[in-house]
Amino acid sequence: MMLRTALLLSFVVLFGLSERSQTDAPVVAEHVDAATAEDADAQTRRLMVDTMDDRHWLIRAVAALRLETWQHADALALLQQLASDSDWRVRSFAVRALARRADGQPLLANLNDRSPHVMRTALLYGITVDVKRLRQHIARQLSESNLDDVLLGVELAALSADATLHERAQTILAELIPRLDDNELLVLSDRLGAACGLAAEATRADWQLWIDDDSASIVVKPRTHAPSWTTVDNDAAVDDAQPETRASIAALDDTRFIAFRDDYLRSLRRQSIDLVICIDRSTSMTQTINAVKTSTSLLINFMDNASASARVGVVTYAGHPSELTALPLSNRPAQVQQFVRSIGLGHGSIETVTLALTTALDTNTFRKNALKVVILIGDEPYQKRNRTELQALLERALDEEIVVCTVKAGSEERRNVAEGATFLPEFEEIARSGGGRCADLFEPSDVARLILALAIGGSWPQQLGDLLAVYSECVP
């Protein structure tokens, strides 16, 4: 059975619990309850150990999310094992989990990890790290030519308690900013704008004012520690100060966790993915386009890690056929990222939706056994005169086992439709006819999560969203 179908299913296992005899004395009942709890803990431990033994790092990292809220004596020991994993990404997940536990924080004192990413995760949660090792990491990162490496070095310096390192970070940024093009500046603003007191979409003029301001500084605030949980109430085991990191994976019972791990994550690891993103680049879509530009790297890297192999193609469209651009399916993240970051704004009016979808199908050779998905993102309907052509196109996509999903973008003003009416019902119609789903994008920054939920989320969109949120934090 194809993964597309498998992803829409989840196992439901019913346990038969034997009734307790009404003649049992209370003390016997307490012993039974204690024994049952002990058996359950032993089962959970075996499940975690099995997950930690997986060959793929992402599966092992998921164990850290489950262990973060498991109130058992073995939880800390297992997290410490993950914090010594050979893969820095697993260590980063484990360090985060330990830092979010009050009883785990002392185990991280003066952390001295060989990965700058792991040190960053620790600093993000206010954990002290080895200063000598930190200085080495910062010096190495700031000497790199890659923008992401340099920004990591700046973050490390800004997160440290060392005034000299803070000054070094500010100097590096002031020298770097004039050399960046507008798209690189957009990435910088998204990652460090808030730390510098600027908006996530700060302009070149905003950054110049920051450079000229003698009192300007970089302040990356550590995350708020999670509370010390004293119960196994998974719904309560959530840091209210950080709603983006809900513990939906930790909240799964053992049966559901096995289904999530085996029927979803491990199945996905055996599946190839071909994803084509069609995005409206008219002026009204500016914020969404900027969000796609800053999240492309995260999107591609996550899919590549979660699947056997991932290819991404892009089609952009606006109000005239001549404004359409396309990048065929590619397994080269840098190529996709370069294309997306070069997207310029087009003209509005009734957008060429049908032409964009036609291009998505005609210019790409989808792999036979891959999960094939086309996602249309826009805020304007298709031209009514093209309805017959569009319907035939969607039928062709289904024949070729290509799922077409849609994302309705648009500001609050654009969503002010008549009472009882639906915003952009044409996109819902396209998704129904294309065998996919339609989603609303209320916050542009949520675009990566929505794309992944539609493409590979299946029946686990909440868990996938939470996993992506932690991934973006631990594997920037």
Q: Where are the domains of the chain?
A: 127-212, 271-474
**Cα(172)–Cα(174) distance, integer angstroms:** 6
pLDDT, one tens digit per residue, over 43-76 is: 999 999 999 999 999 999 999 999 999 888 899 9
State the average pLDDT over residues 103-130: 92
**Cα(94)–Cα(96) distance, integer angstroms:** 5
Q: Examine the pLDDT at 30 and tell me if it is beyond 80.
A: no
Of 47, 370, 86, 105, give the one whose Cα is nearest residue 95. 105
Q: Examine the pLDDT at 420 and tell me if it is beyond 50.
A: yes
**Cα(128)–Cα(108) distance, integer angstroms:** 8
Yes or no: say if 321 and 349 are a contact pair by the CB < 8 Å rule: no
State the average pLDDT over residues 182-202: 85
Q: Examine the pLDDT at 419 and tell me if it is beyond 80.
A: no
Q: Specify the pLDDT at position 162.
A: 83
**Cα(302)–Cα(288) distance, integer angstroms:** 20
Least confident of 31-40, 60-69, 167-176, 279-288: 31-40
Provide CB contacts within 8 A for 196, sequence distance 6+.
Answer: 173, 202, 210, 216, 217, 218
More confident residue, 38 or 12: 38
CATH superfamily, domain at 271-474: von Willebrand factor, type A domain (3.40.50.410)
Q: Extract the runs of DSSP E, i.e. beta strands, from 169-282.
A: 272-280
pLDDT band, very low/low/confident/very high, at 349 (cuts 50, 70, 90):
low
**Cα(280)–Cα(239) distance, integer angstroms:** 37
Q: Examine the pLDDT at 28 and tell me if it is beyond 50.
A: no
Q: Specify the pLDDT at position 20.
A: 34
Yes or no: say if 89 and 475 are a contact pair by the CB < 8 Å rule: yes
Neighbours of 24 (CB within 10 A): 12
**Cα(160)–Cα(175) distance, integer angstroms:** 21
**Cα(194)–Cα(189) distance, integer angstroms:** 8
Residue type present at position 380: E
What token pair was written down for 331?
A: 């397994």
Yes or no: say if 274 and 375 are a contact pair by the CB < 8 Å rule: no
Q: Examine the pLDDT at 220 and tell me if it is beyond 80.
A: no
**Cα(357)–Cα(354) distance, integer angstroms:** 5
Winning range, highest mean pLDDT, from 141-145, 207-211, 400-404, 471-475: 400-404
pTM of the model: 0.83
CA angle 26, 31, 36 (to 5 degrees): 125
